[in-house]
Each structure stands twice: as structure tokens, then as C-alpha cells.
Structure 1
């Protein structure tokens, strides 16, 4: 009987311990589940929990922001953005039509010298062509017709380019004509004063020994690298060449060729560099040789699609 009581007490104790462990495990699981439920419930209630007074204040704040929204200022900003984007847009004309345009202009300019005395005439010829072509295109648009050189679908674009985007079109086809310098007469002009000669390039007049040539690029060994050598005008570039030749040491190459970029949009060159406005290259060559003059040949433009039609550089061979 004592042994039986001992066995019965051992089983009872084991069962009680098991039941206690199960109860503790269930309690722990219930506590974890309850805490997660309470946390998620609090989060959802905190997100969407607004009383009517708070909602009313938020609506009033939104209404105030809408009333004080700078509508006019936004319109002006959008209009300004449109103008800025229009300045950087390209003239959407076919390459064939652009080629026809430059061919017509060059046909008008053929026979004119590129010397300073004819710059005004060049400008006049180009302007007369632009006005005549603009009238022709507008007439075609009004009548709803076209001709062999201007497709009807491009007539509207060409009219806008000739009227308001003329500078952009000139840049794309590589045409550069020096800006006209207005010299007004005044009553206090001294008697016997001579008229100023027409300038070949913007800036102060060039000396005769510069022998400036517009739309010309001469070859030669660089004695001064133009990428880091900028001058305010072609005359300054020529003077830099003259000074270099004057002060060159014995045995050094003396500058006898100057090449200047007068275009504000930069100048094209077949090398890998981006040539910018006012670049001044000083070169030397025993027998100066032309790279390009007036117009880039067709074979060159075929191999260099980014090349303009007209050579943008201005050059000269000094008399020293």
C-alpha cells in the first residue's frame, strides 16, 4: 500500500505540472495576441481619429490656400517658360528646304566681294531676299497653293522662321552676316571730318595689314591655342598675332595667320573640341593654305552632319 500511494502521488504531481505549463502557455499566447490587437487598433484609430472641429479647421485652411493661390503669377511663369523653351527650339524645316534656302542666298551673294566695303551690300541682299521670300510664302498660304521649292505643309513653318525666328534659322543653316552699325549724323559734327569706313566685323576696325577675310578658315601650326585665348574682337585677335610676331624670339615660329570666331553661337570645326565665341587662334605657315572658305563642300557636310553650310570663322594673313 505504501508503494501504491507513492506511485499514485507521482502521477498526480506529473499531471498537475503539465496542466500548469499548458495554462501558462495559453495565458502567454493570449497576452501576446491581445497586445497586438490593441496596438493595431490604436494605430488605426489614431490615423482616422479627427473630431468635427479639427475637420472644420482643416477645410478652412484648404479654402484659404486656394483663395490666396498666386494664379496670375503662375500664368506669367508658364508663359515665361514657354518663351524660354521657344528660344531653344529648332526650326522644323526639312534639310532639303534648308539647303534650297542657303543656295538661293548664295546665288544672290555670288559676285560680291567679302571685303569690308561690300558688307553693307551683303546685308542688304540677304534682307531683300528674306522679305521677298516671306511675301511669297504668305501669298502661297493665303491662296492655299505652293510651288516647287516650298512644300505647302512647310510654308507656315517657313513663314514663322523668316519673320520671328530668322536669327535661329540663320544659325541652323550657318549664315552669319555682321550686324549693322548705325552711325547717326549730328549737327555738331566737325567740318571736314571723314566718314567712317564700314566695319568688316563687329568691334573696332581692323588695320589694313590684317587682311581680314569673312567666312574663312586658314590652316597652320598653332603658336597660341585658341581654346584658352579669347579676344573681344577680330581686330584684337589680329593685333595679338602682330604682337606675337614682333616679340617672338630667334628660332621661334612667328604668327602670320589669325583665325577668329565672331559667332555668339560658337564655330564649327572637325576636331573634338567645342569652339566658342571670341576664340582667337594664332598660327604660322610658310605657305598659308585654306581649310575652308565661304561654304563647306557637300562631301564634308555628308561626313559631318553637324557642320553648317557657311564657314563661321573669320581669318587673315598678316603682312609681317
Structure 2
């Protein structure tokens, strides 16, 4: 009786083993079938995409309009007319303004220490000239210095030369400013040629004689009673508001002060200070107004005091970034 039972168990185990093998094989077969189907679908999709692109390009090439030589000639003429009608003058002006603004940025981005060094070099240059040198010689000396400084800055920018106060990264900007924006840079450092020239050369005039060299100012020679002082700004109470009181020269501004003091009524303040702006770019002041060329301020002060003299201090320029190095005003306290 035991033998049939063993045979029965063996037969059951055999069926289970074959069923497991079939089950495993069915999973593999299903995976292979699915992968094949995916490949076929992908190939079909790629074929359709390729066919549609080819068909589109073929139709596009065949549907392109064919123009006659006469039509092509008319289109070329219309394009030429449209190009000729462009406001070329305006476009060129805009380009020049943009270039000027870019060059102005180079001037503004120059460090203040570098600008002060340039001012010092020019002052030393002018000191070395003969005291009787006219504005033409002074202009030529400064122009020669500028050309030499351009070449020096270019050599520093290319690493061919070194300097203790010009960094290579700043040398390129300095060269462009000296070469293309000299007017803006000269205004920044307080140099005006030929309108103004700084001259510190000693002279042998007798004591008490007016040593102001008025050849650097436009207009008539200033009389001794004007006591004109270059690069000076006096304070005081306004007798005539300079924003609306313009004169063509420092001489006329001083004469206006003298005339006002002579003809003033007893209850009016008498002018004893005149302040004039001779710079074409205008004159800097710490107030909110824009002071322009030929402004003539008539002032009164019981004890005249100088607001600014010769150069603005480094601390002042730090608080007023737009201030030039040299005081632009010309002033005088008239003799009573």
C-alpha cells in the first residue's frame, strides 16, 4: 500500500515543477512580445514624421512663388528707395551721442586720485613755462603733454610699461579719455585752454600792484579796483541774482557791481563783491541750481569771506562727485 502513495506524490510534484517552468517561460515570452511591439510602433512613428517633413519641404519648394524679372527689379527698386528714405543724419547723430556718452563714462569712471595727479602734472608743466608765455604757448605745452600721456597710458595698458599711480586696468580708460574725450576730462580736472590757464609763475611786480593776469579772460582788461581773483568764490548776500543776471565778460560783471554800489539808494545793500562764471561748461556750486556761462552775481558782505579758493578739497569732492578739481569761478572784492 505504501508504493502507490509514493507514486501519487511523485506525480503531483512533477506536475507542479512543469507548471512553474511554464509560468516562468510565459513571463519571458510576454516581455519579448511587448518589446517587439514597442519597437514596431516607434519605427512607424519615425517613418510618419520623416514622411511628413519630406512632404512639407517638397510642397513648400513646389508652392514657392516664382517672380518675373520685372517684379524682382521693382522689389529691388522699392528696397533701395526705402533705404534712401531712412533718416541717416539722425541715425549718425544718435551714434555720435552714444559714443560721446560712452566716452563720458570713461571719464567719470576714472578714479579721483588719478584726476588729481593729472591736475598736478599740468600745474607743474605750466609752472615751468616762462612767466610771459602767452596762451598759445601754454596750449601747445599742454597739448604736447597730452599726446605723451596717451602713449604712456597705452604702453601701460599693454603691459609694456609700469606706473606707480596708473593701474593697467585704468590705463586703457585714461588713454581713451585723453584721446577722444579731452574736453570732458579737462573740465573734470579744472583746465580751460585758452579761456583759462593756471599760472603760478613768480613775478617781480612791485608790492601792492595788481598781479592778476587778465589775459586769460575774455573781454576788456579788469581795472585795479575790481581786485579779480581766479578760481575763487566769495560768499555774501545777493544784491543781483546771477541766474537771471548775465554779463559777457568779467569786466562787465565788475562794472555792474561798481555801478550798483554807486547808484544804490540809502536803504539798499551796496555791492562790494562780484562773482562771475567764465566757463563754457558752466560753474559748479553746492546749491541745487545749474550755473551757466556768463552768470554774474553781485553780493554784499560786511566782512567778505571766501567760500572756495583754487581747488576743492578731497573731502568736498567725495561728498560732491560732480565737482571739478579746480574752482571755476572768478571773483573780486571791490575797493571802496
Q: Which TM-score band applies after superposition, normalised by the shorter structure?
A: 0.5 to 0.7
List aligned pairs for 1:133-144, cutoff 5 A: 133-140=149-156, 144=160
CA separation in 1, counterparts of 2:161 and 2:175? Answer: 14
Shift of 1:167: 0.9
C-alpha spacing 1:253/1:162, structure 2 compared with 1 (3 Å): same
The question of whether the paired residues in 2 share the 8 Å contact of 1:264 and 1:276 is answered with yes
The residue that corresponds to 1:100 in the other structure is 117
Find 2:259's aligned residue among 237, 243, 254: 243
The residue that corresponds to 1:210 in the other structure is 226
Secondary structure of 2:332 counterpart = strand
How many residue pairs were aligned?
249
List aligned pairs for 1:58-137, cutoff 5 A: 62-71=75-84, 77-89=90-102, 90-92=104-106, 93-95=109-111, 96-108=113-125, 120=135, 123=139, 126-137=142-153
C-alpha spacing 1:102/1:60, structure 2 compared with 1 (3 Å): same
Runs (5+) with no aligned partner, structure 1: 1-51, 182-196
More divergent stretch after superposition (128-137 vs 254-263)? 128-137
Shift of 1:180: 8.1
CA separation in 2, counterparts of 1:180 and 1:106? Answer: 12
Runs (5+) with no aligned partner, structure 2: 1-64, 198-212
CA separation in 2, counterparts of 1:180 and 1:173? Answer: 12
Secondary structure of 2:321 counterpart = coil
- In angstroms, what is the RMSD of aligned CA positions? 3.5
Find 1:274's aligned residue among 287, 290, 298: 290
TM-score (norm 2): 0.63
C-alpha spacing 1:127/1:280, structure 2 compared with 1 (3 Å): same
The question of whether the paired residues in 1 share the 8 Å contact of 2:233 and 2:308 is answered with yes
Shift of 1:297: 0.9
Q: Which has the larger radius of gyration?
A: 2
TM-score (norm 1): 0.66
